[in-house]
Structure 1
Amino acid sequence: MTKATQVTDHGGGVQSIRVPIPDNPLGYTLIYVLDTDAGPVLVDTGWDDPESWDTLTAGLANCGTSVGDLAGVLITHHHPDHHGLSAKVREASGAWIAMHEADAAVVRRTRENDPSRWYAYMARKLLAAGAPDAHVAPLARARDEGAPRRLPGLDPALPDRTITPGDLLPLPGRRLRAIWTPGHTPGHVCLHLEEEHPARLPGNGRLFSGDHVLPGISPHIGLYEDPDDATVTDPLGDYLDSLERVGRLAPAEVLPAHQHTFTDAPARVRELLEHHESRLTGLLTLLAEPLTPWQLAERMEWNRPWADIPFGSRTIAVSEAEAHLRRLVKLGRAEAVAGSDPVTYVAAP
């Protein structure tokens, strides 16, 4: 596929560019170009990688514009396949960057914290979750050796505008409203284009859904990690509540950040709600015996056997297991075993 063919015209002044994600099974992020009377605005930017940048710039040219013409960037959430190229876009265009404050706080923490502090925090968290010493050892070494950050997107652009939920965004000639949809990240937002669908499909406008609602994937729901905040969050509960909000909105078409556009958002929301309820019920079967979050993650169903899951993905999987445990505990369906260290959980009687 050439860079030129990675552009799709969705009508009504909306186009998308398939920007690749290197070495990732998702393949690409759909970056949307929204025409406004003040100039084109991007919804997300893509991964910070030379091929991704080249694809974005070639795609913008195919859309009849350029990076230099961009007026602004709306970020659905802070992950590097969405926010990674924001700094380069701003440097090349002077465009503003807008993000929900909860994710802007994550960006600030990432930029300001010494890497060794993050490695130490993650090592403590994993040990508390029952991770074996062999898994924690690389983080402990990185902490002790003062290793630099090697993950992408860890020096992301600080946004200069805030996306406020419920507000119409100041985009001349368009009606785009922000909807807060926490779960995948604490500050994830969907963006509702409150305009008649260009093909007059029934429903309420179009929804840029980021990673919140995807046509064939359930997004990762992990913990909201903040070394300075001991609040016990419930990201899965946040996600499920946010899903129902989007289902009630009933947009005519959903424009997601991965895979492809789709209709009948309420039906997809029902599928995702049923998926998570089925998963929670299945976890209770596993919790017939006390398990640490690590042991639960080992037994959960993933897209490949646990033995084939690499180091970083195992850490993410444990975070997802903990998010599900927190939900079960909050619902009174599971409980921590008193005195266990590391803490284990069991299905409530």
Structure 2
Amino acid sequence: MTEHTHRRGDGTDTPATIDHGGGVWSIKVPIPDNPLGHTLVHLLDTDRGPVLIDTGWDDPASWSALTTGLASLGVRIEDIHGVLITHHHPDHHGLSGQVREASGAWIAMHAADAEVVRRTRSAEPGVWLDYLTAKLASAGAPPDHLAPLLAARDSGRMRTLPGLDAALPDREITPGDLLPLAGRTLRAIWTPGHTPGHVCLHLEEQHPGNLPGRGRLFSGDHLLPGITPHIGLYEDPDDTTVTDPLGDYLSSLERIAALDAAEVLPAHQHAFTTPAARVTELLAHHAARLTDLRTLLATPLTPWQLAERMEWNRPWDQIPYGSRNIAVSEAEAHLRRLVKLGHAEAVEDTDPVTYAAL
């Protein structure tokens, strides 16, 4: 593995690209004001030109890092042949439109996430804030948490969220299919959970370092070496289907472990080996968390109250406003799983609805 560096303004070197061998590189593309730091955008060489796996956040500094990283590998943005998106989140899909505009590249995404992009772009102003406010109110959020959302709705500041101008893909990633990439053998694996249309991409080629296992896996956010990805409810104001994102995620993890990939190339942190061991850790983590939540639900709680009592990376009173919304969605996803397993149920005639362990 070889790292290329570029000179920062303060005169020190910082790793910008990593050569993973076999025509695969990664480029660190920063995420502004985010503890994750950066997205690892992967570059895959093909016989018809270079293809990107994800693109990074839509920000001038991120665009500069992407184009500079490509240039250090002898690739111009105009050379990009196609873009494969693991999922629709803005730190992965944000720059896709700019890449397509500069290069004419195609953009491919799973149909479920493409629908999220389409729905978000076409939503009437205020629909999302109305939906989010109602959702949080039904989860038991206090009035002081709802007040900023109501104020934003009333003031008309309703189209400032990331993703509202995300590029519509022009190709579909079909699960199980080999992707039409000249000279490469890359198969799409549907791994819902983090988003409904998240995909991992399995490079079914001999590992360039001859590591034991079956090729390499571009895992997006599905499988990360030291982070448990957020699993919240799939948000769709027009869909009343009772989904089970955590159940989807756990099933997807087991499917990925069965691939027996020699190496995982995730979208955050760093490449790693022994994915089955990491899957085992994540399955154990979620099993323990569900057990802990059953204990908390010995007393009936709303999803908001459950989120307040769950273990996070900081105390609840130190969690920022927007992150609390994400935490409540994660609490609801865990509640859905407990209800589906028969380990909890909604308490009748409660408003907002409380849940109790069985």
- Shorter-chain TM-score tier: over 0.9
Amino acid at match of 1:74: L
Flag structure 1 segments of 5+ consecutive residues without an equivalent. none
What CA distance in whole angstroms lies between the structure 2 residues aligned with 1:201 and 1:186?
32
1:282 alignment counterpart: 292
TM-score, reference length from structure 1: 0.98
Aligned-residue offset at 1:261? 0.3
Q: Which amino acid aligns with 2:93?
A: H
Alpha-carbon separation, structure 2, partners of 1:196 and 1:148: 49
Partners of 2:259 and 2:237 lie apart in 1 by 35
Q: How does 1:248-263 map to 2 (within 5 A)?
A: 248-263=258-273
Give 3-state SS (helix, strand or coil) of 1:23's partner: coil
User: Does residue 314 in structure 1 map to residue 314 in structure 2?
Assistant: no
1:128, 1:148 → 2: CA distance? 21
Deviations 1:278-297 (A, max 9, x none): 00000111101000000000
Once residues 62 and 155 of structure 2 are traced to their aligned partners in structure 1, the CA distance between those partners, rounded to angstroms, is: 32
Other structure's SS at 2:150 match:
helix
CA distance in 1: counterparts of 2:194 and 2:159, whole angstroms? 22
Q: Structure 2: where are the runs of 5+ without partners?
A: 8-13
Give the residue type in structure 2 aligned to 1:295: Q
**What are the equivalent positions in structure 2 for 1:1-349 lying under 5 Å apart?**
2=6, 5-348=15-358
Partner of 2:10: none
Render the CA deviation track for 1:75-95: whole Å, top value 9, x for unaligned: 000000000000100010000
Could you tell me which amino acid in structure 1 is paired with residue 94 of structure 2? G
Post-superposition offset of 1:10: 0.2
CA distance in 2, matches of 1:148, 1:140: 11
* Alignment coverage as a number of residue pairs: 348
Match of 2:11 in 1: none
Amino acid at match of 2:216: R
Deviation sequence 1:74-128 (CA, Å, 0-9, x none)? 0000000000000100010000000000000000011000230110010000000
Letter in structure 1 aligned against 2:278: R
Give the aligned CA root-mean-square deviation in angstroms: 0.9
Shift of 1:151: 2.2
* Corresponding letter in the other structure for 2:302: T
Instruction: Return the alpha-carbon distance in structure 1 between the equivalents of residues 154 and 356 of structure 2.
Output: 35
Distance 1:31 1:172 in 2: 20
Distance 1:115 1:274 in 2: 42
The separation in 1 between residues aligned to 2:313 and 2:155, in whole angstroms, is 34
State whether residues 129 and 158 of structure 2, in contact with CA within 8 Å, keep that contact through their aligned partners in structure 1: no
Residue 15 of structure 2 aligns to a residue whose secondary structure is helix
- Amino acid across the alignment from 1:272: L
**Identity within the alignment, %:** 74
Judge conservation of contact 2:30–2:57 (CA < 8 Å) in 1: yes
Counterpart residue type for residue 27 of structure 2: I
How far the C-alpha of 1:154 sits from its partner, in A, is: 2.1
CA contact (8 A) 1:291 1:345 kept: yes
Equivalent-residue separation in structure 1 for 2:16 and 2:133 (angstroms): 41
- 1:117–1:143 Cα contact (<8 Å) kept: no
Deviations 1:161-186 (A, max 9, x none): 00000000000000000000000000
Per-residue Cα deviation, 1:245-293 (whole angstroms, up to 9, x for no partner): 0001110000000000000010000000000000000011110100000
Contact preservation (8 Å) 1:48, 1:153: no
| 8 Å CA contact retained: 2:178, 2:186 | yes
Contact 1:178 1:191 in 2 (8 A): yes
Give the Cα separation in 2 of the matches to 1:151 and 1:129: 22
Aligned-partner Cα distance in 2 for 1:241–1:293: 24
